[in-house]
């Protein structure tokens, strides 16, 4: 992705925090970390572009996907009532189904961790942390139709499990014009509110070590057995911890 005027290079946690201090904000600030430099399009929109699916068709496809998820997820969910579409979409997104939602966090160190926790597949690639100041916040009520939104907005999902709470999770809800898939950073409402921090590949491991010292690691971000297993690997294998320190 081409460089932007406001892009900043990050080499350490201190440098990242310093940049945030230099640009104080009175509004809410959200973060999205990526280990590769991709535009801010939800997964379902990226897949639609890759598979040559028209913007005019994607709403109907996503609605059918959600309806199947609603029918077949019943034995796996323990909710005592029928979920609103926006709640169902939040759960589907949480468990990996492509939707118009994009994950964000209100925790800057969590955003940085997501950017560097996994090395990119290609050595020439770099990580990014997107920072958004002043999101258009929305609170959904009842069975409000998430497909009828007039503009892209942001909401804090219900704490479906400990992961969302631990990650200080937020979602953006992408609203497209049915003619093109326009990334959030190119939308007129958000273009001036987005900053991108670039993290060169060679700083991934040092940043992971710094974040670990600050208590930001797999088990903190994913407080379950999968997170614990990943963190044990990171401590004893990936960071080559000396055995005599056990």
Q: What tens digit of pLDDT does each residue of 121-135 get?
A: 888 899 999 999 999
* 220 pLDDT above the threshold of 70: yes
CB neighbour list of residue 43: distance below 8 Å, 6 or more residues apart: 98, 99
pLDDT, average across residues 10-31: 92
- Domain map of the chain by residue range? 8-215, 216-246
Instruction: Place 141 in a pLDDT band, splitting at 50, 70 and 90.
Output: confident
Instruction: Place 197 in a pLDDT band, splitting at 50, 70 and 90.
Output: very high
pLDDT, average across residues 200-221: 93
pLDDT, average across residues 73-87: 82
* 240 pLDDT above the threshold of 60: no
First-to-final CA distance of the chain: 43
Which DSSP helix (H) or strand (E) runs through 80? none
Instruction: Place 3 in a pLDDT band, splitting at 50, 70 and 90.
Output: low
Instruction: Place 94 in a pLDDT band, splitting at 50, 70 and 90.
Output: confident
Q: Please state, in angstroms and rounded to a whole number, the distance separating the CA atoms of residues 200 and 11.
A: 8
């Amino acid at each position: 992705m081409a460089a932007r005027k406001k892009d900043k290079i990050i080499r350490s946690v201190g440098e990242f925090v310093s940049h945030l201090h230099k640009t104080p904000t009175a509004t809410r600030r959200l973060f999205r970390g990526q280990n590769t430099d991709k535009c801010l399009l939800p997964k379902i929109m990226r897949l639609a572009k890759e598979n040559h699916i028209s913007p005019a068709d994607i709403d109907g496809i996503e609605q059918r996907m959600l309806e199947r998820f609603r029918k077949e997820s019943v034995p796996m969910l323990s909710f005592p009532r029928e979920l609103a579409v926006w709640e169902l979409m939040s759960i589907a997104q949480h468990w990996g189904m492509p939707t118009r939602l994009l994950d964000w966090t209100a925790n800057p160190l969590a955003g940085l961790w997501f950017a560097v926790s996994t090395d990119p597949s290609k050595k020439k690639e770099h990580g990014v942390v997107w920072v958004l100041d002043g999101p258009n916040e929305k609170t959904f009520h009842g069975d409000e139709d998430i497909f009828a939104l007039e503009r892209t907005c942001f909401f804090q999902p219900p704490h479906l499990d400990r992961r969302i709470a631990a990650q200080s999770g937020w979602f953006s809800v992408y609203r497209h014009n049915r003619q093109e898939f326009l990334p959030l950073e190119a939308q007129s409402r958000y273009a001036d509110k987005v900053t991108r921090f670039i993290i060169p590949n060679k700083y991934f491991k040092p940043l992971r070590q710094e974040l670990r010292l600050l208590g930001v690691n797999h088990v903190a971000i994913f407080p379950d057995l999968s997170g614990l297993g990943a963190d044990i690997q990171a401590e004893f294998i990936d960071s080559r911890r000396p055995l005599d320190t056990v």
